[in-house]
Amino acid sequence: MSQATKNGVSSPYVELDREAWAALRASTPLSLTETDLAELRGTSDPTSLEDVRDIYLPLSRLLNLYVGATQQRHAAVRAFLGEADRPAPFVIGVAGSVAVGKSTTARLLRSLLAQWPNHPHVELVSTDNFLHPNAVLEARGLMRRKGFPESYDRRSLVRFVSEMKAGAEQLEIPVYSHLHYDIVQGERQTVRRPDILIVEGINVLQPATAGRLAVADFFDFSIYVDAKVGNIRNWYLDRFRELRRTAFSDPRSYFHHMATTTREEEALEFAANTWRTINEVNLVENIQPTRGRATLVLYKGDDHRVRRVRLRKT
């Protein structure tokens, strides 16, 4: 069912349950295979091909319509100005808590959107690449605030998206390693002018401070992946257990000791305390309050499946 009014008052939002949203897929083909999906899913993320069919294909179709309309508008402006250069990239922001599944959402959209013929070049950038290096965070006393707005080089992030939007042919940005838990010195990600740029990160919908621009000011469409705080906590701990068994066992991992010298009970207590004192605080104080700024919200149930979708119509 859809809902465009509340208590008899018209709303700029429409809310649809899973069944109603899935029907909007129309004839959009499902081209991903189980193998493809396995490469796109995050650690412990249970997203299935059924989820792709019911949730992400309708979203891909909607975004394709948005991109087409935006390209037409840009073409009209260029014709008016007598310009012949390519249109600016369509920029999508994907926000949500740690462990809620936003990275999987972003990777799925990159894959699905690139299959539409009018925008085959899709780039994905994580705002983790714009975290300050650990040395800077330590000098500023911010290591326990990693992931909070002040831990990012927001000026560089805004400059990057602004230059992409202005038509830069190619830009290089830092690279963040989850294995090393730090920016990798000397390594760069090259971003070539795309048809669509997806910017994924926990705080991408943060408003600007007075007199400044925020990265969200450059978004043509934004998505917030939402769930109850208690559910996200459980998924965070599930992911930590899996990482302890896999990635943390790599001797190069920043958290290698969690897999080798720390007992399981102590490791899980560390994870629970990290969630309680850092990630949950950041979610409640900084991330969740930006949900209302999103064009579309995906609401997940306790099984990680999207149960309903809210879309801003205007």
The average pLDDT across 22-36 equals 92
Q: What is the pLDDT of residue 176?
A: 98
Q: Give, in order, the Cα–Cα distances in Å from 140 to each of 15, 146, 303.
A: 43, 11, 39
Please say if the pLDDT value at position 4 is more than 70: no
| pLDDT over 90, % of the chain | 83
Establish whether 292 is an annotated binding residue. Answer: no
Does the pLDDT value for residue 74 go beyond 90?
no
Token digits for 307? 């149960």
Residue 101 marked ligand-binding? yes
Is 93 annotated as belonging to a binding site? no
- Stretch among 18-27, 81-90, 286-295 having the lowest mean pLDDT: 81-90
Nearest 10 degrees: CA dihedral of 252, 256, 260, 263?
A: 180
Is 102 one of the annotated binding-site residues? yes
Q: How confident is the model at residue 1 (pLDDT cuts 50, 70, 90)?
A: very low
Tell me if 99 is assigned to a ligand binding site: yes
pLDDT (tens digit, 9 = 90+) per residue, 116-147?
A: 988 889 999 999 999 999 999 999 999 999 99
User: Residue-wise over 34-43: b if at least 16 C-beta within 10 A, else e?
Assistant: eeebeebbbb
pLDDT mean across residues, the chain: 93
What tokens were used for 51?
Answer: 């989820």
Mean pLDDT score, 249-258: 94
Per-residue model confidence (pLDDT) at position 75 = 86
Q: How large is the average pLDDT for residues 3-23?
A: 80
pLDDT at residue 292, as a whole number: 95
Report which of 29, 68, 52 is spatially closest to residue 109, judged by C-alpha positions. Answer: 52
